[in-house]
Amino acid sequence: MRLHLECLDWGADDENPPAQFSTVQDETFRGKKIHVDNHQYKNCRFESCHFLYSGGPFAFSECEILACMLGLMGSARWTSKLIEQFVEASAETELHG
């Protein structure tokens, strides 16, 4: 899967992102834990990796992802649970409506 996704507080083409963010470019990762928050990945390849996301800004630009998993932590995990509850409640309402 080719991935191009930006969830940043600045433009991905900005050559000077805020200091707390890391840019990783032209790398290949195999079987690694990848921290998504506060990272900008450009033209990277991920194979059998485990992405960890906590809810912070991130970007993937022209990256390739093969057989990877996503783990949600912190705010991202709680947001996912909230959405799940709303979806289940909506489905129940429609079934019993």
pLDDT in tens, 23-82: 999 999 999 999 999 999 999 999 999 999 999 999 999 999 999 999 999 999 999 999
pLDDT of residue 33: 98
Check whether 95 has a pLDDT greater than 70. Answer: no
- DSSP symbol at 65: E
Helix then strand count (H, E) for the chain reads 1, 9
Angle in degrees, CA 9, 5, 78, rounded to 5: 70
Task: Say what the pTM is.
Answer: 0.80
Binning pLDDT at 50, 70 and 90, where does residue 17 land?
low
Cα angle 11, 65, 36 (rounded to 5 degrees) comes to 50
Average pLDDT on 8-19 reads: 64
